[in-house]
């Protein structure tokens, strides 16, 4: 099935700014996040579509490729990758590198820039709002110390590739076009290894793990990315390393829900407090606040505590805390309590329109319906 246009997925125009794309994605992520739509495969698929669309359109280089070539310009499955034959990425790879600067494995000065890496970081709402520093452990490829990165067995050296003659590039005929692409045998290095190193098996790199300290700024939200420059995979042939992108995912909170810079929470109140009014303490992310409940409060009424929300990582005014009250019906009443409620009900006879206006108007509507 053909993929939907990324701009249509996020509901933005093709001229949308980076901020508009970001805002649209955050709205979609909040609406379709799996934590909010348990056991709903459709919303989970929409969340994945929105995430993929944002990853492409939020990256200037990927967006430019998408605008010019559509899904084929950003779909890695459309080509054979580096060193493959006949794929989209191979045929247009050099063109993309000239235009976009060789990002994400592009060729630089005779070698290949290291690939960018991504790390999925889950944060509590408290840490996302206040900021924190976390330690992450990631797999990395480092230069093999046994062969000093050459890939050749100790005491031997790589030899010139017989396919490309050491140029690292071969010409390929595609109909009327003659295009140049990385040599499929030496993967663009211009060298072949007759006796591979026993530790790295000719790769010149081995996989290890390293621990990084990530400073998470205050106010981040789901979908935000933190770039750690140079912490991606190492480059080849003298090219620089890629970057590591730490993608933030804020975990579901037991009390609060975040929407942009505002926080929402549901506050249960007693029948007596709702009827007579009063004050009660409600939590905020940093401390407590006093909520004043007016007399005659109904379920669903929402109260705003200004400045008790979130300050975005991009700055601006701090959001608010919005408390939606829910009047809780008493349960497991004693005989005495039931008698008191019945006595109270009797005092309301003949005056329901005064004390329960919604109920009275509903009865009038029902009566009119049946008549």
Pull the structure tokens for residue 117: 């890496």
Cβ-based neighbours of 367, under 8 Å, separated by 6 or more: none
pLDDT in the model for residue 232 = 84
Rounded-to-integer distance, Cα 204 and Cα 146, Å: 9
pLDDT in the model for residue 268 = 94
Of the ranges 91-100, 159-168, 205-214, 246-255, which one carries the lowest mean pLDDT score? Answer: 91-100
> Across 187-201, 229-243, 307-321, which has the greatest mean pLDDT?
307-321
Percent of the chain with pLDDT over 70: 82
| Helices of type H across the chain | 6-10, 18-32, 41-57, 60-69, 88-100, 125-130, 271-276, 335-347, 352-355, 357-370
* Higher pLDDT pick, 261 / 87: 261
pLDDT in the model for residue 234 = 75
Q: What is the mean pLDDT of residues 266-271?
A: 93
The pLDDT confidence band at residue 35, using thresholds 50, 70 and 90, is low
Nearest to 125 by CA among 259, 285, 261: 285
Nearest to 310 by CA among 267, 227, 253: 253
pLDDT in the model for residue 1 = 53
What is the overall mean pLDDT for the chain? Answer: 80
The pLDDT confidence band at residue 162, using thresholds 50, 70 and 90, is confident
DSSP code per residue over 272-300: HHHHH-EEEEEE-SSSEEEEEE-TT--TT
* Higher pLDDT pick, 78 / 281: 281
Q: What is the mean pLDDT of residues 18-32?
A: 86
Instruction: Judge whether 174 and 79 are in contact, CB under 8 Å.
Output: no
Instruction: Judge whether 53 and 10 are in contact, CB under 8 Å.
Output: yes
**With 70 as the cut, is the pLDDT of residue 99 above it?**
no
Cβ-based neighbours of 334, under 8 Å, separated by 6 or more: none
Q: Check the CA dihedral 219-222-224-225 and report its sign.
A: positive
What residues does 214 pair with on adjacent strands? 134
The pLDDT confidence band at residue 100, using thresholds 50, 70 and 90, is very low
The pLDDT confidence band at residue 95, using thresholds 50, 70 and 90, is very low
Q: pLDDT tens-digit profile of 69-80?
A: 777 767 644 333
* Higher pLDDT pick, 8 / 88: 8
Cβ-based neighbours of 62, under 8 Å, separated by 6 or more: 55, 56, 74
pLDDT in the model for residue 158 = 85
pLDDT in the model for residue 357 = 66
Pull the structure tokens for residue 32: 């379709």
* Higher pLDDT pick, 83 / 119: 119
pLDDT in the model for residue 93 = 33
Element (H or E) spanning 170, and its range? strand 169-174
* Higher pLDDT pick, 149 / 102: 149
Q: What is the mean pLDDT of residues 38-54?
A: 82
**With 80 as the cut, is the pLDDT of residue 82 above it?**
no
* Higher pLDDT pick, 69 / 12: 12
The pLDDT confidence band at residue 177, using thresholds 50, 70 and 90, is low
Q: Is 91 helix (H, G, I), strand (E, B) or coil?
A: helix
* Angle in degrees, CA 107, 118, 72, rounded to 5: 55
Q: pLDDT tens-digit profile of 179-223?
A: 777 888 777 778 888 888 888 888 787 888 889 999 999 999 999
- How many other CB atoms sit within 10 Å of the CB of residue 208? 10
The pLDDT confidence band at residue 131, using thresholds 50, 70 and 90, is very high
Instruction: Judge whether 113 and 242 are in contact, CB under 8 Å.
Output: yes
* Angle in degrees, CA 61, 64, 68, rounded to 5: 145
Rounded-to-integer distance, Cα 79 and Cα 91, Å: 9
**With 50 as the cut, is the pLDDT of residue 15 above it?**
yes
pLDDT in the model for residue 40 = 73
**With 60 as the cut, is the pLDDT of residue 108 above it?**
no
Cβ-based neighbours of 123, under 8 Å, separated by 6 or more: 132, 134, 216, 220, 248, 249, 250, 251
Q: What is the mean pLDDT of residues 346-364?
A: 70
Cα separations (Å) of 358 from 272, 361, 364, 365? 19, 5, 10, 11
Question: How long a stretch of residues is the chain?
Answer: 371
Kindly report the CATH number that applies to the domain delimited by 253-328. 2.60.260.20
DSSP code per residue over 25-70: HHHHHHHH-GGGSTT-HHHHHHHHHHHHHHHHHTSHHHHHHHHHHG
pLDDT in the model for residue 237 = 64
């Amino acid at each position: 099935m053909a993929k939907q246009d990324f701009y249509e997925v996020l509901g933005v125009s093709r001229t949308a700014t980076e901020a508009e794309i970001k805002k649209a994605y955050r709205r979609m992520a909040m609406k379709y996040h799996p934590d909010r739509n348990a056991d709903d495969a459709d919303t989970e698929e929409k969340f994945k579509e929105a995430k993929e669309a944002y990853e492409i359109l939020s990256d200037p280089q990927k967006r430019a490729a998408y605008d010019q070539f559509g899904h084929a310009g950003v779909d890695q499955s459309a080509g054979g990758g580096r060193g493959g034959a006949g794929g989209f990425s191979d045929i247009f790879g050099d063109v993309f590198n000239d235009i976009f600067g060789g990002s994400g494995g592009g060729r630089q000065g005779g070698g290949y820039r290291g690939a960018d890496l991504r790390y999925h970081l889950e944060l509590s709402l408290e840490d996302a709002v206040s900021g924190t520093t976390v330690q992450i452990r990631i797999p990395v490829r480092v230069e093999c110390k046994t062969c000093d990165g050459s890939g050749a067995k100790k005491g031997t050296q790589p030899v010139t590739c017989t396919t490309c003659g050491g140029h690292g590039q071969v010409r390929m005929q595609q109909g009327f076009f003659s295009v140049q692409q990385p040599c499929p045998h030496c993967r663009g290095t211009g060298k072949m290894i007759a006796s591979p190193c026993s530790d790295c098996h000719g790769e010149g790199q081995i996989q290890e793990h390293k621990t990084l300290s990530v400073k998470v700024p205050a106010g981040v939200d789901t979908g935000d990315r933190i770039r750690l420059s140079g912490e991606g995979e190492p480059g080849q042939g003298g090219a620089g390393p890629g970057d590591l992108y730490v993608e933030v995912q804020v975990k579901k909170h037991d009390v609060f829900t975040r929407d942009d810079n505002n926080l929402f929470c549901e506050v249960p109140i007693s029948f007596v407090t709702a009827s007579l009014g009063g004050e009660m303490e409600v939590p905020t992310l940093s401390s407590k606040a006093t909520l004043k409940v007016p007399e005659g409060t109904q379920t669903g009424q929402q109260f705003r505590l200004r400045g008790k929300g979130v300050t975005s990582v991009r700055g601006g005014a701090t959001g608010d805390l919005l408390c939606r009250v829910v009047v809780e019906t008493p349960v497991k009443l004693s005989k005495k309590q039931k008698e008191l409620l019945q006595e109270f009900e009797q005092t309301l006879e003949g005056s329901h329109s005064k004390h329960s206006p919604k109920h009275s108007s509903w009865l009038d509507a029902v009566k009119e319906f049946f008549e």
